[in-house]
Structure 1
Amino acid sequence: MARKWQKQEKYSKAEKGHFVIYSSDERRFVLPLLYLNKKIFREMLKLAEDEFGLSANVPLTLPFDATVIEYVITLTQHNVVDTKQLQDALLISIASACCQSSSYHHQLQSTHHHLSDLCGF
């Protein structure tokens, strides 16, 4: 009985104006819906869809560990990812680290070349 309650509590809904995501190492994050306006979060959700598919019966899990998600949240809270160049650079970094063999990583190569020209890296 206690396990059943813990499982239900673990996957409980978020308060109004928020959504819940889980990291690949099963950490729970409650984020404001406004984060969905950020390109970085939309792209992370696309990666999750590519990795795990869509299902209404399981919690939304991103294919990143908690450290990566915390890093993106911190950058978002400090408005660091508000410029297109920084968002694209972060997306390339995440895709390179987590999705080396995916087609998504291949799609970002043109963005990487553009950023190299702009930022000198």
Structure 2
Amino acid sequence: MERIRERVIQIYGNLVSLLRKCIFCILSVGPIPNHIAFIMDGNRRFTKKCKLMKGAGHKVGFSALMSILKYCYEFGVRYVTVYAFSIENFKRSPEEVQSLIDLMLEKIEEILKE
């Protein structure tokens, strides 16, 4: 059973890699922008909709952002702006605010290491 699972994961990884290469080929035909901005929004709604543990949506959102940032780097996008925390977020509970800030610091450190 474990062998089958590993094989499925390998096949999935190969398909994702092929799809990524196809997307890069298509997008590289046109001009690549110098600057892209992302607005991180909807992570709590995602958590509620999928009935996940509190804060899980933020982790999923940051993981998606990390993937996108790698793509931007590979495409040669020189500048990326990320809006990840607004003044409105400070109206949340102190525990949630601290959790978000800790998560941001953790992910920023990961980016700097890579």
Global fold match (TM > 0.5): no
Query: Could you say which TM-score interval applies, normalised by the shorter chain?
Result: under 0.3
More helix by share: 2
TM-score by length of 2: 0.26
Between structure 1 and structure 2, the one with the greater Rg is 2
**Higher relative contact order (Cα pairs below 8 Å, separated by 6+ residues):** 2
